[in-house]
Structure 1
Amino acid sequence: MNPEAIREQLESIVQDPAFRSSKRSIQFLRYVVEKTLSGDADQIKERTIGVEVFGRPPSYDTNEDHIVRTAASELRKRLAIYYGEEKHRSELRMSLVPGSYIPQFKLPEPAGAVAETDAGMDGVGGLATITAAELELKEPLVVSAATERSWKNWYTVSTVAVVLLVAVFGYLWFRPQSAQALFWKPVVETPGAVLLAVGDVPNGPPSSTPGETASSLPIIHKTSSTTVPFADAVTTARVLGVLQLQGKRVMIRREEASSFTDLREGPVVLIGAFNNEWSLRLTQQLRYSLALDAEKHLIYIKDAKNPSLRTWSWATDKSTDDQGAAGGPVLMDYALISRIWNSETGHVVIVVGGLYTYGTETAGEFLSDPQLMQTIAKQIPKNSHTNLQIVLGTTVTDAVAGPPKVLAVSAE
């Protein structure tokens, strides 16, 4: 078939009103047609389309991200609408091969083909003719049997189709969502971009406010550096990967450059604990919060129901050299993950931070690993307005954080 004729038909299709409103269908159709015409039809695969057409990363999970299958279904519908119009029925036809994304091209049947077929029934070409008397006797019997078979077939197919539809919708409705999907659902389902605010590099441990009270916030000391801590950068990359797999657009900023107005624009993810003032402020009224014990030189995760406990703490007056060295005392770091519905901003806020760098890294690992998150599946509230907090612990060996361990979960 002439490639130029195919390209001309392609242009006619994408200029039609059935396609002009869908940039995704146009990109999809152009891509698969040109790949086929260039002899590369064997390269038209779901992952390849996802990467080259829709900008997904090469390692994206096709089981979680259905962008290509959804776009293919939409394209098939638009092609059906296009060729369903009388004015297009005599044009070169394009369709996707069932079960794949390879386009198929077919020339329209000549206008007289049907007429010639019908003409052959009058005896021309050796077919026997039927007299009026014979027709009067035979026609009712033949039509009745055919009609009966047709109705039986239609009824059987319709019944099977209904049963299948009920089964599919029942499965989609009742199947349990993964813990990771439930956790990120309020963020993913909110329209617009996600703000990811990363804490600044701290200049030493936090200090207490003069005349400190139980509700006082620790004072954060920051350097003038425009960089971010390595652990925060790693966690940022992990969170970014999770959100991009869900098709979310993400804006990354330093915490210092993020205002309350920014927090009102949409969902927010805060990376960092004692180097991120928003993290300190927004967790203050929750069951678990970030706190400082100046007398004991500890930063810790405070439990409002057991305020005197300092179990989840990190000493700020000890050297960080050779921390967690093999053969030495066991070193633990802790992290607090909070999913907060902020009534002031009207959006969900996720806070991810460790007492020290190891805790932040282990929190990022936990949030980006579906299997790890599945351990709290039953404790994640389906109501996005319910605050959820997760306390994690990790053992540090040779300055490397071990796997995260869930220590406490609160949904209030």
Structure 2
Amino acid sequence: MQTLEPTSKAAAGFRPRSADAADPRSPNAADQGPHLSADDQRWQLALRIAASRSLGRSQLLSDFLLYIVERSIQGRRGEITEQQIGVAVFGRAEDYNSNDDNIVRSYARKLRQRIDNYYASEGSEETLRLEIPRGGYAPTFTDHVSPPAIAEEPSRDGDPEGLEPRKGEEGDEPRSARAAGIMPSVPIIPRRAFTPGTLVVLLLGILLGVGAMQLKQSRIFVSRAEATSHTLWAELFSGNRDTFIVPSDAGLVIMQRLIDRPVPLSNYVSGTYRTKLKADDLPNAAEILKLGNRRYTSVVDLDLAAHLAQLHEVVPGRMLLRYARDLRMDDLRTGNAILIGSDESNPWIQLFGPQLQFSFHYDPNSDQPSGFVNPSPRPGESELYTTSGQEDRTFGIIAYRPNLAGTGHVLIVAGLNTAGTQAAADFLLDPSSMMPTLRRSKLADGTLQPFELLVSAGNVATNASTPHLVLERLGLPASH
């Protein structure tokens, strides 16, 4: 299967992050315009943020930031629009519809958050502040000075603890109250009201209360099954990379059924499947195209995403819900991902087809069986697990694989139909069901090796009953 490369940048004069981007002596310096200098503090700040850990090694976020800062410094703020950013940074066509494609808005929210993270951590000593105000994409720069520390005033004579206010000092309510003969509303407790034994009991009570709260929040008291599942979720959700939750594109499925042909991943990523549909001049092509442009997804997929968001291992700000049409190849190289659906409803799964032990098989002829192919059946196993002839059964897979660069992880939760995806999701979220596989997958260093499960469940009106494990495979296919 062909591996796709990221779409090239389309705007003239824009270069992604590079060593010569800040060097006016480089061959490309003429493209930078007269207002961009390597000594410009704004440009140097942008380069530091783009190379920081806070951006999570995302080339698209770095390109986004450098594009808007470069255009702003050069006085070309008219080019800092959603349409221009979509073309220059995300490789969209010149006439793409930003109302249907919110990739720029989505990444802008993410970029604002990462810039805040930068200033809260590695950029805390920065004296220049970069912000992207909401409602636009043009950056602003302001001087940022930390508030001076308040010096402790020395004690005055006759007041060794420095608690007695000076005469005539503003806010001298206690002294004024005494002068007026008004008793303070807070009772004065004598110094020796507490005996040493009372203080010890009080302190022990406070410590026990705080300790109980911390134990509850840290969830130390968990079952063995939950502790085993923690290994999986801790690898999928980490603080040093993003985790993309990608539900299925139900609108794409509807469109494919109407035009009676599949949409290859390459056409899906580029969006040309919609352009091709216009050129084919099919009957009702306009209405079919509307369906293909809609952002439909399955309630089962959203339910799984909601459950994942509640996991204790989720790192706030690092879990991102991304519609399949908005995902980028770079996301599957630099981040973790959980792909939900099937290769028909979520074409990104097609990228990992060579790594799957159980592959999808769809036959457009309704008389032929469709299902999961088991290419190397073991004794007692079938070559095809299908719903044909047993519509009350369904199948789904759970596959744990490396991401495209081998630096992160991808979890595929997919079914032959909606009930199959639900069966796989229910099995995945049950720590007791997953524990045997996770224990067998655990390596000596505590990490997990790739694994793949085929599960089955009853199908009652497109709803899955209690799922059970059918087949298990550890590691990658031998041919991979």
* TM-score calculated relative to the size of structure 2: 0.42
Q: Identify, as 1 or 2, the structure richer in strand.
A: 1
